[in-house]
A = this chain, B = another copy of it.
Amino acid sequence: MGELIPLSIPNFEGNEQKYVNDAVAQGWVSTGGAYITRLEEMLADYLHVEDVAACQSGTSALHMALVRCGIGPGDMVIVPTLTFIAAVNPVKYQFATPVFMDCDDSLCMDPNKLEAFCAEECHLDNKGVLRHNDTNVAVKAMVVVHVFGNMCDMEAIMDIAERYHIKVIEDATEALGSHYIEGKYAGRFAGTIGDYGAYSFNGNKIITTGGGGAVVARERGETAHLRYLSTQAKDNQLYYVHNEVGFNYRMTNVQAAIGVAQMECLQRFIQRKQNNFNYYREALLEFLDIKLIDSRENTSSNCWFYGLELPIEKMNCELKDIIDELQKKYGVQTRPIWGLIHEQVPYREDLSYKIERAKYYSKRVLNIPCSTHISEKEMNCVIDSVRTILEQH
């Protein structure tokens, strides 16, 4: 066994050190500074939107979006069960109630079940508010996650949202750069179609600022309001006038300095992720029983993470045995897809709606190494290790 092949590590082959040194040398390290503005401008240009607000994390972006959707105690928010828990925790921060939805074969929210839930389990009241039949609770918003960079079926989802008056918060934390290439939303990027979009620049993401995120809103002026909320809602910088309850969610200039350097590399990183995805896929085509989860038709995925679907019921082991063996015997770091959120302790009492495919995929999807600077030799090692283990089990 040679060196460890990590699952996903940051790639700092650009101007990261230079820009960070500049920020520190200038003394602009906190929530003011030119790199923050520059990063926001680069993101806005890239995403073809008017304005982007840089913040502390994808979680904080989602939290502020929920606040702006008016979500509070007693409201209901539709969320996926198969995703990282950060997409759902902000619902609890607002003391609202999540209702968990199943995924389809893209791992993203199943629009058919979403439609069925709205039509059969809810009704529009005489003020046009969607209400859950059993509890009469208002269903005001949904969080949809573009899992691993693969886009949700936004055409179906936006249509449902419009008909049932539900705000759409796109969790594009994994999907910076993913976009539609055909159809109604051709050219539109993940995060820019719904009412709000959240991005993450955490250490494992396609670009990183250490920790960090960004938020966009479709409505004119709304992104500026999110920025205001992220800086403790200061209506007057000097005289401490605050007309709302704000947060300490603003990105710092040091984080943004890293982010500007990373944005300079984004297109190259996406290209490599896509190339490596194709390399893996072609090599894996030799095995009839396993496949990489592919991106939705009419979309271009940033291919952030690679989800390998294993034929687990034909094997005499579980996913975790394979993960252990890959790590210990071959030095290949992998991870399972997430545990389903509706089965986690803090969410067990909450509603869920016909969860089936998520259970299926949670047992069999393995994430394999996908750093942007992974070598062909390393990918071959991953493929050979997986092949050997599958042949043994």
Contact = CB atoms under 8 A, between A and B. Distances in A.
A143 interface: no
Contact of A27 (B9, B89, B95, B232): B9
A345 B242 contact: yes
Contacts of A250: 211
A112 interface: no
A130 to B, nearest CB: 23
Contacts of A298: none
Interface string A309-339: 0000000000010010000000000011011
Interface string A5-29: 0000110100011001100110101
A245 B203 contact: no
Nearest to A209: B29
Interface in A232-246: 232-233, 238-246
A30 interface: yes
Contacts of A187: none
B338 A240 contact: yes
B32 A346 contact: no
Contacts of A30: 10, 202-204, 208, 210-211
A60 interface: yes
Count of chain copies: 2
A380 interface: no
Q: In this complex, which of A73, A84, A210, A335 has the most chain B Cβ atoms within 10 angstroms of its Cβ?
A: A210
B12 A203 contact: no
Interface stretch (A214-222, A252-260, A352-360): A252-260
Given A56-B56, A211-B248, A203 B32 contact: yes
A271 interface: no
A131 B184 CA distance: 58
A241 B208 CA distance: 25
A248 B55 CA distance: 12
A254 B20 contact: yes
Contact of A345 (B16, B93, B243): B243
A358 to B, nearest CB: 13
Contacts of A258: 24, 29, 254
A21 B203 CA distance: 16
A54 B32 CA distance: 22
A85 interface: yes
A345 B233 CA distance: 11
Contacts of A56: 56, 211, 248
Given A29-B208, A95-B95, A210-B255, 19 more contacts: A9-B27, A12-B29, A16-B24, A17-B21, A20-B21, A20-B254, A29-B258, A56-B211, A57-B248, A59-B248, A84-B240, A85-B240, A89-B232, A92-B245, A210-B254, A211-B250, A240-B336, A244-B346, A254-B254
20 contacts: A10-B29, A12-B25, A17-B21, A20-B21, A20-B254, A30-B202, A30-B203, A31-B202, A31-B211, A56-B248, A89-B247, A210-B252, A210-B253, A211-B250, A238-B336, A239-B320, A240-B336, A241-B339, A242-B346, A254-B254
4 nearest interchain CB pairs? A30-B203, A59-B248, A210-B252, A29-B210
